[in-house]
Structure 1
Amino acid sequence: MTKLQLITKGLVKENPTFVLMLGMCPTLGTTTSAINGMSMGIATMFVLIMSNIVVSLVKNVIPGKVRIPSFIVIIASFVTVVQLVMQAYVPDLYNTLGVFIPLIVVNCIILGRAEAFASKHGPFASMLDGLGIGLGFTCSLTLLGIVREVLGSGSVFGAKFLPAGMDGMLVFVLAPGAFIALGYLLVLFNKFTAKLR
């Protein structure tokens, strides 16, 4: 697999949200706006890239019996870094994302990539894999956030475009709207990318 294929597979062929259906908790819980979705995606991508690199570097040192717990400790270390940086520099965003930041530790995308890819490949390939899957996840969350924000509040990235006194459909800001928007986006994504996969 070429370097470009390692990156692009996460966008289409192995998109964590629209193809593999992984990471649904943050996908549905944090995408009430485009900025929230994008921020959660970027935080997850950072943890994914860094944990993939470290797992690939220490894979031969970790005994098989404690492999998964060791991966979780590595992932938790990078989540702690993300949490502290967000709390220090973007406290409003940190408060908005709330419990979903610590939950990155148990995100099946990250542990899955550590087990399925990083533990079997070198650091550079693992970094590219993390970048590709992370980009796919970030794009998915941002797209879902845009759709929900546009339909729910008539704005995109906080910029309101509906006339004063006119609001969006409340359902898209709430949990049912996440399921509805995700369902339609899944259909559209799979319809338009069927030939690419």
Structure 2
Amino acid sequence: MVAMPGVASGHHGKYREPNGKTLLAIYPALYQQAKKDPKVYEGRDVLAHGRAKDGRVVWSLVRSESRRLWRAYHPKAERARKFHVRSMAYGGGAKGIGYAVTLDYYEQRGVSQPEAEAQWSCLYNVIHRESGWNHRIWNRGGSGAYGLGQALPASKMAAYGSDYMTNPATQVRWAIGYANGRYGSPCGAWVFWQGHHWW
């Protein structure tokens, strides 16, 4: 298990849940969700209005809820954190989002990072030449192609999200799916593009 700030790694993959301050600093999404949990409020209520002997009940509740919340929310929060860090590698914007979406896509499918990076490089090249990473661009020749990957028609991307006209992440997901479906992979698409100057 990889050690993380504020998280003490133990033997056999065990861990100690970070305290609230650490959660707020590293996993704000997790921290906010935990605060809204009804059982957390129940524990606070007992702590505020119960008798001294109720302390053991409160402590047991807080400990069990801490473990449950950590197991439930940590994977999502960690994935969101990695997405943010990766997107900032390109200064945010459409390129950064594209990078984060691509690496997340391949990571979720068990593909190694070097291979994911290679596919990203190919996808980057195709999109750079198709749209210059402008996710709101229409084809100037009047074909009706739109967005990062110049989908034709633009409505093709709707299967990946109703926000396909404005969200670069949705457009990149479509581009990956299109590349995989038609050319086997983004690198297959890039090979084709170099020979035809379209895809």
TM-score, structure 2 as length reference: 0.30
Please say which structure displays the higher CA radius of gyration. Answer: 2
* TM superposition score normalised by structure 1: 0.30
Q: Which has the higher contact order (CA 8 A, sep 6+)?
A: 1
